[in-house]
Amino acid sequence: MTVYETSIFAPMKRFPKHMIWVAMFLLLAAVGCQDNASSGDPAKSVAPVGAEVEYTLEAYMSGYRGVGGEIEGKINPALKANAGDTVTLKLINKENMAHDIALDGQDVRTETAMKIDEVVEVTFVAKESTDYFCSLPGHRQAGMQGKFIVEGVAPQVAQNAPAVAGGAGSQLFPKTGTPLKPILPVSTDEISLGADTVPAPIGKRAPETVEFVINTSEEIAELEDGTTYEMWTFDGKVPGPMLRVREGDNVVIHLDNAPSSKMVHSIDFHAVTGPGGGAAVLQAPPGERRSMSFKAMKAGLYVYHCATPHIATHLARGMYGMILVEPEEGLPEVDREYYVMQGEYYTTERLGTEGHQIEDANRMLEEMPTYIVFNGRVGALTESRAMKAKVGETVRMYFGVGGPNKVSSMHVIGEIFDRVYKEADLISPPARNIQTTLVPAGGAVMVEFEVDYPGTYILVDHSLSRADKGAVAILEVEGEADDTIFKSLDGIKPVH
């Protein structure tokens, strides 16, 4: 059992200097009135007064459920105590995913209960009203939040009155703007999956059974140079691996969630016809495997993603990929195939801030990403990892949007898409000569174009402020320049 006794000076850290002096003055005045000199030592915590109060809550993603007494059966019940009471909050985890209880703005939190029926608790002295909530990413938004109501004023609280009056009150979501911790050691050298990791074409064959093992893990990785973030991944990369099957195949999926994971993970395949796209049977707790099979009934290029609540949070950590279901006759042969996915990160600090970034749940709910990137990080598909082609070759891009929230106006600067298989419809004739194609969140497109002139071509989301948030990828084209196609009339050489 952990007992937290907050130093009476701690709340003052949040206040302007003049407020601290006001608080100091009142505190010293109060101390001066007391007979017992030892209680005037401001470095020591004040002993609790009042009753002992205990609440038991069951933890579900949809909300806490009260156990016993007045709170029995109530969802996210208001928990009451008098100032100075010694309060114990006991949590019984009722799901195979991690949960806890924390008090907003106060240094009170249980350990994390990792599995079903695990019990954790925390004991502390009631100080001021606030919200209790689950501090695991996304759980508060999913509904794990209630009121902790403190009535009356205990002596030690009275001493802190000026500080408490302006203190952290009840907030819908945690504060933002937390100073960055130093960059953390990375658990993976490179989070980005290369654009050239496209499986070989299926070719002509009859439908068969194909089997995939996909691992989920939680990694600390570089989001950009000098900035780390906790990514949640399929096979340790963002995006997850591209899977390639044939229409009519029986697809067997084994999802292995790493023992080191804190979260349950799962997959919803947009290629699946069935409950949750598979997510209804693929919720894998840490250290466990879930398996399923499905028939790839419809040809197309489909997004898959984690579908464990809070789902947007799992996507905003990088949990998406694509599966290509080739039509019976296969796809036309091309010279180059690339796999690119657009996704968002929501962090407390702006792009370019060095250190370890923390998720900003408010920004996610407001759909204001800090980063919008291709293949998992800023600069993933640039320099040595740029896509490549030679003049005269045909390039095909499998492009999808993991989101979770933003659609993409996919565009390659200086190119025209010869064929656009809109919304990844691989059956209908493609649209021709398209400059920019719209790709929905949780959707995809297949584009093909011949490269006719050498140079550096930039893949962007033509909502171009997003280039400043990281959405830039490079296609380097080598070969002979044909000046009937393109030339400067001032003798300027194009920047390659």
Binding site, residues?
265, 270, 305-306, 314, 319, 462
| Local structure of residue 281 (DSSP, 8 states) | T
Q: Which CB sits closer to Cu ion, 255 or 439?
A: 255
The minimum distance between CB 197 and Cu ion, in angstroms, equals: 21
**Edge-to-edge strands of the sheet including 119-125?**
3-4, 119-125, 86-93, 52-60, 63-67
Q: Which CB sits closer to Cu ion, 64 or 234?
A: 234
What is the total residue count of the chain? 496
Under rule CB under 5 A, how many of the chain's residues touch Cu ion?
5
The minimum distance between CB 267 and Cu ion, in angstroms, equals: 9
The minimum distance between CB 384 and Cu ion, in angstroms, equals: 30
Binding mask 125-144 for Cu ion (x = CB under 5 A): --------------------
Q: Which CB sits closer to Cu ion, 192 or 313?
A: 313
Beta strand 130-133 with 145-151 is antiparallel
In three-state secondary structure terms, 205 is coil
Binding site for Cu cation, residues?
265, 270, 305-306, 314, 319, 462
Across-strand partners of 306? none
The answer to whether 134 and 94 are in contact (CB under 8 A) is: no
> Which one, of 314, 219, 215, lies nearest residue 256 by Cα?
215
Q: Contact between 61 and Cu ion (CB under 5 A)?
A: no
Q: What is d(CA 284, CA 96) in angstroms, rounded to the nearest whole number?
A: 9
Detail the DSSP E strand segments found in 104-238: 119-125, 130-133, 145-151, 209-224, 227-234
Q: Which CB sits closer to Cu ion, 319 or 475?
A: 319
The minimum distance between CB 95 and Cu ion, in angstroms, equals: 14
In three-state secondary structure terms, 399 is strand
Q: Which CB sits closer to Cu ion, 109 or 265?
A: 265
Residues 310-349 that bind Cu ion (CB under 5 A): 314, 319
Q: Which CB sits closer to Cu ion, 23 or 319?
A: 319
E strand or H helix at 245: strand 243-246
Cis amide linkage into residue 356, ω under 30° from 0: no
How far apart, in Å, are the Cα atoms of 328 and each of 29, 86, 249, 270, 298?
85, 69, 10, 19, 10
Residue 75: both structure tokens together? 């969802």
How many angstroms from the chain centroid is the CA of residue 472?
20
The minimum distance between CB 265 and Cu ion, in angstroms, equals: 3
Q: State whether the Cα torsion 313-318-324-325 is positive or negative.
A: negative
The minimum distance between CB 221 and Cu ion, in angstroms, equals: 16
The minimum distance between CB 257 and Cu ion, in angstroms, equals: 9
Q: Which CB sits closer to Cu ion, 89 or 319?
A: 319
Count of CB atoms situated within 10 Å of the CB of 176: 14
Binding mask 275-314 for Cu ion (x = CB under 5 A): -------------------------------x-x-----x
How far apart, in Å, are the Cα atoms of 199 and each of 103, 108, 164, 216?
48, 49, 60, 20
Instruction: Give the CB-nearest residue to Cu ion.
Output: 306
Residues 214-273 that bind Cu ion (CB under 5 A): 265
Q: Which CB sits closer to Cu ion, 146 or 285?
A: 285
Across-strand partners of 336? 395
Q: Which CB sits closer to Cu ion, 314 or 411?
A: 314
The minimum distance between CB 264 and Cu ion, in angstroms, equals: 7
Assign residue 162 a region: left if phi > 0, alpha if psi is -120 to 50, beta otherwise? alpha
How far apart, in Å, are the Cα atoms of 253 and each of 267, 269, 289?
10, 10, 10
Count of CB atoms situated within 10 Å of the CB of 107: 12
The minimum distance between CB 44 and Cu ion, in angstroms, equals: 45
Residue ranges that bind Cu ion, judged by CB under 5 A: 265, 306, 308, 314, 319
